[in-house]
Amino acid sequence: MAPIRILVVDDSIVIRKLLSDTLSGDPALEVVATASDGHIALAKIPQFKPDLITLDIEMPVMDGLETLAAVRKLYPKLPVIMFSTLTEHGAAATLDALALGASDYATKPSNTGSAVVAIERIRVELIPKIKALCGTVALKLMPLPGSRPAVKVRIKSNPRIEIVAIGTSTGGPNALAEVLPRIPGDFPVPIVVVQHMPPIFTRLLAERLASKSAISVEEGSAGAILEPGHAWIAPGNFHMKVLRAGLHSRLNVNQEPAENSCRPAVDVLFRSVAAAYGANVLGVVMTGMGADGVLGAQDIRDAGGEIIIQDENSSVVWGMPGLVHASGLADAVYPLDQLALEITRRVLQSRASRYGVGVKSSTPLERTAK
């Protein structure tokens, strides 16, 4: 197989060399060209025909956001990974870039004090994303723990859904921006979310989603009491769990070891909601790279809850939902533009069935869900 051809765009000659040397050290990758600003990059795309671009945000002449907008007009399907700093400004600009159509992002290694550490961070964070976006990572059936079967035949009891748990990664910010704003303001259960992102990013993401949504959206915090019509996003670098405490459920955030190389991890959240709510859980696995969420989906299924996933065509990377599907754990598969409606329909239907016919719908989305 021919190596993935990469165009590195960054105004720093040090970063260009670091990226070029590190990426080219992988036999599956080839840096075919570099550029110090957006104008030069746009001129080199037709010349070198890259399979993927890494794009700095802050550059002279033509910055990353301007360059991205131009790339999307000329090459709408060309994968672009933003390479940004882990700062408030860098996080905000990265979210802007994702909204403009960037495929993913990676944070620049800073204050490492060691070239070796910086190179390793690029290898761990950036290279897997490049391979996933360029379709060189094959789905493999996930081994499930113990002797539990991959496909579990269950008798449907239609339990009343009391919580919705969502897990997502690559492509997740835009996917969440499609789903959460379409959830009605009187949604009768809480929503908890893991989106793989570093600190600062998750808070800004929650604020942006809150500004567009009828439900409340905020970053999760220790001790927060779960309420209907409210969504919490796990804070970067912290696992988030749901714990039952008497009549209430509260959030717990902690820095226990990473799972699936992730913190926050979807498996941690899913495992906790299965323990806290049993069969009364709807789990949703959306676009994302890697295997996080598969074992947690098994925990929800074992407890009697349901799992739905985003389909391949609408996913930026069908790693996480694809592995849930490959492991036989998905109850149903939906395109992104149908997920909000399906989540609402399942929640309302599960609760209406407890009272029989005649439950009134108070919102257009609820009436459609009926």
As a whole number of angstroms, the distance between CA 52 and CA 30 comes to 10
As a whole number of angstroms, the distance between CA 164 and CA 172 comes to 16
Q: Are the CB atoms for 319 and 290 separated by under 8 Å?
A: yes
Q: Out of 20, 84, 103, 169, pick the active-site residue.
A: 169
Q: Out of 56, 104, 267, 292, pick the active-site residue.
A: 292
Of 133, 155, 171, which marks where a domain is finished?
A: 133
Residue 215 lies in a domain: yes
Is 230 a catalytic site residue? no
Q: Out of 196, 299, 314, 325, pick the active-site residue.
A: 196
Is 196 a catalytic site residue? yes
How confident is the prediction for the chain on average, in pLDDT? Answer: 90
List the helix and strand counts (H, then E) for the chain: 13, 14
Same domain flag for 119 and 230: no
Band of the pLDDT at 118, cuts 50, 70, 90?
confident
Band of the pLDDT at 116, cuts 50, 70, 90?
confident
Same domain flag for 189 and 59: no
Residue 148 lies in a domain: no
Same domain flag for 204 and 71: no
* 275-290 per-position pLDDT tens digit: 999 999 999 999 999 9
Same domain flag for 80 and 14: yes
Adjacency order of strands within the sheet including 52-56: 29-35, 4-9, 52-56, 80-84, 104-107
Q: What are phi and psi for residue 350, nearest 5 degrees?
A: -65, -30
pLDDT the model gives residue 87? 83
More confident residue, 223 or 84: 223
The pTM of the full predicted model, rounded to 2 decimals, is 0.90
Instruction: Give the residue-averaged pLDDT of 252-256.
Output: 98
Same domain flag for 208 and 125: no
Band of the pLDDT at 140, cuts 50, 70, 90?
low
pLDDT the model gives residue 370? 40
Same domain flag for 297 and 221: yes
Residue 268 domain boundaries = 163-369
Of 111, 133, 155, which marks where a domain is finished?
A: 133
Is 169 a catalytic site residue? yes
Q: What is the share, in percent, of the chain residues with pLDDT greater than 70?
A: 88
pLDDT the model gives residue 139? 61
Instruction: Give the residue-averaged pLDDT of 353-357.
Output: 50
* 7-48 per-position pLDDT tens digit: 999 999 999 999 999 999 999 999 999 999 999 999 999 999
Same domain flag for 191 and 120: no
* 330-347 per-position pLDDT tens digit: 999 999 999 999 999 999
Q: How many domains does the chain divide into?
A: 2
